[in-house]
Chain A
């Protein structure tokens, strides 16, 4: 998995689209609960991608 394969970007796009669709379905109160989970998912995806890009191949 490398940056040039576009997996990092498609992952970000996928998370964005999925979470915005789910946020549409929820009401205003549940949105506040759900938003930190979205941020958590995005953070995990970014940090994992950074590790794969710059880390050891066995990581």
Chain B
């Protein structure tokens, strides 16, 4: 766990240290050569963009690559899954699974890869353009893209929960006194996507608590961990952007903190998008496990 945090710290923090030092240097240059202020601002913005955009784009490509490989995996695995569903016959009717859900999961992944992540990149570029040239702003456009994406992702997750509850066999075991404070904590402290996170985690939990009977708690936990690592990584990076913005706000120029804040916001939405991938992965993994378990025990 410590080394996991350290890898994130290593790549992200080094670029943020550069941002902090360079904004301080710009302060000094402004003090020494006041007539040079316009150039200092522009050079500082260009420097910050080149340094700071790299982790953000790394995460965008990371999530896009994961989406691509998972959609390829689904294409190869679904014929086998469907065939074994037919082969298992009556044993499978017990669980009341929805085969259409598999198609839906793959559709969500393709949507992520083809539409959501390019749109997020567009939002990032609009933000940068409006910061570089404040007289030609695109802030409304990027805000609109972000809120629309968040709406689309929440709609997809809500449809997942409809699918799962329509199945009828899954029950929600985690919602007790224990998880309520944690949910409230997440909802209050993660900006923009906090309530979305608790809702979607609740939906996945509702599904996997039904599957625990078949698969066992540790297996479920490991699947959850594998599926949620990219999301957590993205979330931590987004927080680093906002923390850096908060740290340098007193002495840096408004443009720099604005850029950091905007990139942080976009990464929060990216985290929400990565939940879609995690969702599809968890669903398919549990589905395969239960299928194998059923086939082996019913024989």
Contact = CB atoms under 8 A, between A and B. Distances in A.
A13 interface: yes
Interface of B: 38-39, 42, 118, 121-122, 125-126, 128-129, 132-133, 135-136, 138
A16 B38 contact: no
Q: Which 9 pairs from chain A and chain B are nearest by CB? A: A16-B129, A16-B133, A20-B133, A9-B125, A16-B132, A20-B132, A42-B136, A24-B42, A12-B129
The B interface is mostly helix, strand or loop, or mixed, namely helix
Contact of B125 (A12, A19, A21, A24): A12
Nearest to A18: B133
B279 to A, nearest CB: 25
Given A20-B42, A24-B38, A24-B39, A38 B136 contact: yes
A12 to B, nearest CB: 6
A17 B132 contact: yes
A9 B125 CA distance: 7
Contact of A38 (B42, B118, B121, B133): B133
B135 A35 contact: yes
Interface in A1-48: 4, 9, 12-13, 16-17, 19-21, 23-24, 35, 38-39, 42
Given A12-B126, A24-B39, 10 more contacts: A9-B121, A9-B122, A12-B138, A13-B125, A16-B133, A19-B136, A21-B42, A23-B133, A35-B135, A38-B135
Nearest to B138: A12
A17 B128 CA distance: 10
